[in-house]
Amino acid sequence: MESWKKIWGYIPIDFGARIGAAEDITQKIRIKNNVGGSAVKIKFSNLYDQYALLLEQVNVGRVDKKSGQITESVKVTYQGNTQIKVPAGQAFYSDSIPFSIEANEDLAVSVYLKGRHEIYSLCQTWSAKGWQSSFFQGNRAEDTELSGRSTLEMFPFFAYDEHVCNGAFGISGVQILTKEDLAVAACFGDSITHMSYYFDPLQDILYQKYPGKIALVNCGIGGNRVLYDASYVKDMPGCGRCFGKAGRTRFEEDVYGDMVPELVFLMEGINDCTHWMDFGLEGQRPTGAMIFEGLKSMIKLAHEKNSKVCISTVMPFANDSEKAMGRPESIRQELNALIRAHKDLAEGFVDLDEVVRRPENTHFMKGGLHLGDGLHPNEAGGKVIADAIGAKISLAASLEPFKSYL
């Protein structure tokens, strides 16, 4: 029996500030796909912009492996219309679009925006190995080319970030109608998940291991905390609003709003440990036990939804001796001790702290594994993390998802 499965998704980020404007622009998104099916639905999102988003034309096609060009593109409709209006504050899926695709065939979604629109929200990736966006002048929705202007060229707003992101507006998810016995895994967390330096190689590992049988969805938000809503940061665009609602608050909507994943990989808590000190929020200084209770509430909810859960310890974040010996580190140590002591609350456990820390000084991440700040994994660090997580995930012979953990 065929069923709809979410095969790609990222969280639209609410910047609380104008990113830029788009007019007479085609945005194209290339998406890595591991699922075969007979139809597709595209999720349109305009949750945080101030006005309705009017999409003049939307097309979906396959990406030819040899040429890297879009082939067999078809128009996407909503309620039978090719012109799609997404009111401010809303998100919804398109009509079911007949579209034959095989596992390991990448998708391309092309969106033409004719009229001027002020943009306050994007989905983002920094690794950009699982999906990439590009921008073209004029209506290129039916054009085969994928190489256009970058996100930074389109939105100079992001020059404030030394690590260049890849972004897309108006699109936040894809579902495929498939007859496959497919497992969906949602990765929930903060910037370590959101930036996708471990998420993208984890996709590669699992898609190669289980072709046509598994899909990964990214539910990370950079700067996100388990316990508290976005930290107020005066000097950031939008004053830090992009950090999102508290993890324990957003978990149900962001993970279960349009899917029921067979597995949730849960790794969050770094920003709870550090933001109160970094941004002068003494009233939001938690204990490790408080953060752990927040994680427990998410595990409980996932189990109520019949998802299995894999949890991780919080990795090192120190980049100097003061932070390594400070109160944020003591909170992390308390939290990790509780996660290790109660790892059986989840079906799977991976000790990423142990995987990436320096043996001679466990307060620090190993050299060469981070972006220079001691906290965010780089491409090499992401691969190490992905290998550790991938080794914990196995599908049973019956394809009952995640029945056993190595």
**What is the CATH classification number for the domain harbouring 213?**
3.40.50.1110
Of the pLDDT bands very low, low, confident and very high (cuts 50, 70, 90), residue 1 is confident
Let me know whether 342 and 210 are in one domain: yes
Let me know whether 116 and 141 are in one domain: yes
User: With contact defined as beta carbons under 8 Å apart, do 175 and 41 qualify?
Assistant: yes
Across the strands, what pairs with 6? 175
Whether residue 401 is predicted with pLDDT greater than 80 in this model: the reply is no
Let me know whether 166 and 186 are in one domain: no
Whether 123 maps to a domain, the answer reads: yes
Q: Among residues 16, 18, 15, 12, which one has the least CA distance to residue 156?
A: 18
Measured in whole angstroms, how far is the alpha carbon of residue 47 from the centre of its chain? 17
**What's the sign of the alpha-carbon dihedral 269, 273, 278, 280?**
positive
Q: What is the DSSP letter of 79?
A: T
Q: Which of 176, 206, 226 is where one domain is finished? A: 176
Domain count, the chain: 2
Measured in whole angstroms, how far is the alpha carbon of residue 117 from the centre of its chain? 25
Let me know whether 238 and 302 are in one domain: yes
Whether 326 maps to a domain, the answer reads: yes
Whether 4 maps to a domain, the answer reads: no
User: With contact defined as beta carbons under 8 Å apart, do 255 and 185 qualify?
Assistant: no
In angstroms, rounded to a whole number, what is the distance separating the alpha carbons of residues 281 and 274? 10
Cα–Cα distances (Å) from 371 to 216, 239, 254, 269, 394, in that order, read 24, 23, 27, 19, 30
Let me know whether 57 and 118 are in one domain: yes
Whether 404 maps to a domain, the answer reads: no
Q: Residue 106 belongs to what domain range?
A: 18-176
pTM value surpassing 0.85? yes
Give per-residue pLDDT as tens, 207-241.
999 999 999 999 999 999 999 999 999 999 999 99
Whether residue 205 is predicted with pLDDT greater than 60 in this model: the reply is yes
Q: Which of 148, 176, 204 is where one domain is finished? A: 176
Whether residue 402 is predicted with pLDDT greater than 60 in this model: the reply is no
Cα–Cα distances (Å) from 73 to 33, 140, 236, 253, 378, in that order, read 16, 12, 40, 32, 35
Give per-residue pLDDT as tens, 27-79.
999 999 999 999 999 999 999 999 999 999 999 999 999 999 999 999 999 99
Let me know whether 146 and 191 are in one domain: no
Three state DSSP letters for 347-369: CEEECHHHHHEECCEEEEECCCC
Whether 189 maps to a domain, the answer reads: yes
Let me know whether 213 and 191 are in one domain: yes
Let me know whether 167 and 229 are in one domain: no
Whether residue 308 is predicted with pLDDT greater than 90 in this model: the reply is yes
Percent helix, percent strand, percent coil in the chain, to nearest 5: 25, 30, 40
